[in-house]
């Protein structure tokens, strides 16, 4: 979806012609810089308007009793949380790296899910790094780490966090999957998290077009200043 919006070959060719004119001495440096700035601002505005008109996905509610964390669309913290007994379960999500044709332009078909299971009066919590798909959830790793506030794990190479998940025997891997399933962490989360990521991507892209446009408008090229 986003690649289709920003992949404007005609604009790139216009800029290349302007820069070639500048290099060949057929145009004043300030005029060429102003033309490039103008093309960039026009392109940013056109794409901003196009993205702003995109139809959002249908509203989806998360599976009960998970609750949406207030302000999660604006930051890198947890998206969903729920408390059960002395446990607090926090879910962080992001796109998996694009893998060729597995994800089409109009959908998010695979997600990176970070599950943190924290207990009261415990400094560390149990962390699961998972791949979430429309019909399955796969665990990539399990580790004990400090409690997490946002989607950035400290990379302390001196701290042992556990074996590779694939090194565990099949029975233990199945039990860990059951541990998450018992807490409602499974493929039923996919529709909500997919729609949530779409909205977050949409907001981030609009914000990016606007901030870059403001910067170029208020800080013209040096040769044009």
Domain membership of residue 217 (yes or no) is no
Q: Which domain holds residue 181?
A: 67-96+108-204
Cβ atoms 65, 82 nearer than 8 A: yes
pLDDT tens track for 156-179: 566 777 888 999 999 999 999 999
Domain membership of residue 6 (yes or no) is no
Per-residue confidence (pLDDT) for residue 127, from 0 to 100? 95
In this structure, what is the dihedral angle of CA atoms 2, 99, 139, 57, given to the nearest 10 degrees? 20
Structure tokens at 54: 């995109």
Domain membership of residue 169 (yes or no) is yes
Per-residue confidence (pLDDT) for residue 100, from 0 to 100? 47
Whichever domain contains 89, its CATH number is 3.10.280.10
What's the number of domains the chain is made of? 1
**In DSSP terms, which residues pair with 117 in a beta bridge?**
89, 126
User: For 10, phi and psi rounded to 5 degrees?
Assistant: -60, -40
Structure tokens at 81: 């949380």
Per-residue confidence (pLDDT) for residue 14, from 0 to 100? 58
Which regions in the chain score pLDDT beneath 50?
Answer: 99-105
Domain membership of residue 178 (yes or no) is yes
Per-residue confidence (pLDDT) for residue 188, from 0 to 100? 97
């Amino acid at each position: 979806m986003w690649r289709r919006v920003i992949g404007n070959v005609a604009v790139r060719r216009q800029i290349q012609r302007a820069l070639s004119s500048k290099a060949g001495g057929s145009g004043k440096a300030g005029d060429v810089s102003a033309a490039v700035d103008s093309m960039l601002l026009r392109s940013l505005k056109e794409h901003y308007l196009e993205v702003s008109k995109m139809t959002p996905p249908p509203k989806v509610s998360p599976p009960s009793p998970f609750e949406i964390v207030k302000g999660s669309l604006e930051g890198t913290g947890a998206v969903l949380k729920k408390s059960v007994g002395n446990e607090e379960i926090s879910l962080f999500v992001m796109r998996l790296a694009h893998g060729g044709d597995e994800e089409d332009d109009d959908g998010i078909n695979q997600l990176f899910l970070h599950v943190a299971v924290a207990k009261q009066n415990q400094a560390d919590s149990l962390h699961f790094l998972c791949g979430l798909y429309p019909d399955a959830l796969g665990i990539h790793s399990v580790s004990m780490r400090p409690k997490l506030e946002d989607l950035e794990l400290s990379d302390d190479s001196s701290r042992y966090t556990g074996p590779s998940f694939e090194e565990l025997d099949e029975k233990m891997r199945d039990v860990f999957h059951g541990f998450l399933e018992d807490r409602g962490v499974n493929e039923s989360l996919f529709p909500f998290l997919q729609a949530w990521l779409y909205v977050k991507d949409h907001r981030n892209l609009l914000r990016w077009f606007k901030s870059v446009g403001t910067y170029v408008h208020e800080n013209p090229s040096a040769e044009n200043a």
